[in-house]
């Protein structure tokens, strides 16, 4: 920085030396005199430049101390030691918070990209229906259901990562809750000719809205990847099991099933897969202190188990 600021003076000194050397050469003056005068002049210039550089560095350090005061962080007492420990904890907390915000921003970009792509499908179908006029009420309901489902998924994702998201834990009867979700997916069950049973009568202390959303993602996947057979839901005091007779999940895909945007082999076969269902269900389960576990076998079906970590 110092030399960059003084570059014009350096250029001027070089120009003077060149002019002086040409003058001595053209006039035939003794070059010994030139070199003696140059040596003397350079000595004076070096002394002056050294002093100037010292002043520059001192001003630079003073400005730094004004902007970022230097603090001796060596504790001299137990109180100072506790204060420094508190500051370190605060620093770590805010660093983790910033990292979380960056991760959420990256995930949100991916989610919105996937979501906008998926929304185009039912919108295109509805547009085609409007142009041709060739559609049934059931087809119209199916496309609007897909739109509503994708919109809910985005809205819940945004709420899930919002600091002011509230959780209201109440005693929730599970069977009526699951029956309401089954009724929501009834058109898909009927269209595919799938049977569904809900066994068990239990009540959990949990957040009804968020648990319902997580169960919708799991049941939605069960219906989506089951072409024939049934979906069975079993309720116990400690778990909810959702089993289907669908195409199953590859064993090597199971460890990554809850990763953001992971679709696996089945998702690559199904171009409409978003890879968000299990990811969102797992995020909700973690916040509700629930454990999500998946067992699956190709061509035999999948069982998703939601377990309570403790009795509330």
In the structure, what pLDDT confidence band is assigned to residue 76 with cuts at 50, 70 and 90? low
On whether both 142 and 170 belong to a single domain, the answer is no
On whether both 107 and 59 belong to a single domain, the answer is no
On whether both 106 and 63 belong to a single domain, the answer is no
Asked if the model's pLDDT at residue 231 lies above 90, the reply is: yes
Are 143 and 122 a contacting pair, CB within 8 Å?
A: yes
pLDDT computed for residue 148 by the predictor: 84
On whether both 174 and 133 belong to a single domain, the answer is no
89 vs 262, which has greater pLDDT?
Answer: 89
| Sign, Cα dihedral of 290, 291, 295, 296 | positive
Is residue 92 included in any domain, yes or no? no
Rounded to whole angstroms, how far apart are CA atoms 211 and 153? 14
Is residue 227 included in any domain, yes or no? yes
Is residue 265 included in any domain, yes or no? yes
Query: How many domains does one find in the chain?
Result: 3
Which helix H or strand E contains 135, and what residues bound it?
none
pLDDT computed for residue 267 by the predictor: 52
Which helix H or strand E contains 169, and what residues bound it?
strand 169-173
On whether both 51 and 108 belong to a single domain, the answer is no
Rounded to whole angstroms, how far apart are CA atoms 32 and 150? 89
Please tell me the least confidently modeled range out of 2-16, 65-79, 152-166: 65-79
Average predicted confidence (pLDDT) for the chain: 82
Q: Which structural domain range is residue 126 located in?
A: 97-150
On whether both 134 and 182 belong to a single domain, the answer is no
Asked if the model's pLDDT at residue 70 lies above 60, the reply is: no
Asked if the model's pLDDT at residue 165 lies above 80, the reply is: no
- The tokens for 181 are 């979700």
Is residue 282 included in any domain, yes or no? yes
pLDDT digits (tens, 9 = 90+) for 185-194: 998 899 899 9
Is residue 79 included in any domain, yes or no? no
Beta-bridge partners for 38: none
pLDDT computed for residue 274 by the predictor: 60
On whether both 170 and 198 belong to a single domain, the answer is yes
pLDDT digits (tens, 9 = 90+) for 241-279: 999 999 988 888 888 888 876 666 555 555 455 667 888
Asked if the model's pLDDT at residue 69 lies above 80, the reply is: no
Long-range pairs of 172-175 with CB within 8 A, sequence gap ≥ 24: 172/203, 172/204, 172/205, 172/206, 172/208, 172/211, 173/201, 173/202, 173/203, 174/200, 174/201, 174/202, 174/203, 174/204, 174/235, 174/240, 175/200, 175/201, 175/202, 175/235
Mean predicted confidence (pLDDT) in 115-121: 77
On whether both 16 and 124 belong to a single domain, the answer is no
Which helix H or strand E contains 70, and what residues bound it?
none
Is residue 82 included in any domain, yes or no? no
Tell me what percent of the chain is helix, strand and coil, each rounded to the nearest 5: 65, 15, 20
Is residue 106 included in any domain, yes or no? yes
Rounded to whole angstroms, how far apart are CA atoms 303 and 244? 7
Residue 16 CB burial class (10 angstroms; 0-12, 13-18, ≥19) = exposed
On whether both 201 and 290 belong to a single domain, the answer is yes
Is residue 73 included in any domain, yes or no? no
């Amino acid at each position: 920085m110092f030399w960059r600021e003084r570059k014009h003076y350096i250029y001027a000194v070089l120009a003077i030396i060149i002019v002086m050397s040409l003058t001595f050469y053209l006039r035939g003056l003794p070059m010994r005199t030139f070199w003696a005068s140059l040596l003397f002049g350079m000595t004076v210039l070096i002394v002056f430049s050294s002093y100037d550089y010292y002043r520059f560095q001192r001003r630079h350090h003073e400005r730094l101390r004004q902007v970022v005061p230097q603090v001796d962080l060596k504790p001299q007492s137990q109180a100072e030691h506790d204060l420094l420990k508190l500051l370190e904890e605060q620093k770590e907390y805010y660093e983790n918070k910033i990292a979380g915000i960056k991760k959420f921003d990256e995930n949100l970009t991916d989610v919105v990209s996937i979501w906008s792509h998926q929304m185009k499908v039912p919108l295109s179908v509805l547009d085609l229906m409007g142009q041709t006029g060739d559609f049934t009420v059931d087809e119209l309901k199916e496309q609007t259901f897909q739109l509503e489902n994708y919109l809910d998924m985005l809205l819940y994702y945004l709420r899930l990562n919002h600091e002011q998201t509230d959780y209201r834990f109440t005693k929730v009867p599970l069977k009526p809750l699951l029956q309401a979700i089954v009724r929501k997916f009834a058109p898909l069950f009927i269209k595919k000719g799938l049977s569904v049973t809900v066994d068990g009568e239990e009540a959990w202390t949990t957040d009804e809205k968020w648990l319902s959303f997580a169960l919708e993602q799991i049941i939605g996947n069960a219906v989506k990847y089951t072409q024939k057979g049934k979906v069975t839901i079993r309720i116990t005091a400690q778990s909810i099991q959702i089993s289907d007779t669908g195409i199953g999940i590859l064993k090597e895909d199971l460890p990554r099933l809850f990763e953001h945007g992971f679709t696996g082999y089945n998702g690559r076969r199904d171009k409409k897969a978003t890879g968000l269902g299990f990811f969102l269900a797992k995020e909700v389960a973690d916040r509700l202190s629930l454990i999500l576990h998946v067992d699956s076998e190709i061509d035999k079906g999948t069982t998703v188990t939601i377990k309570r970590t403790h009795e509330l």
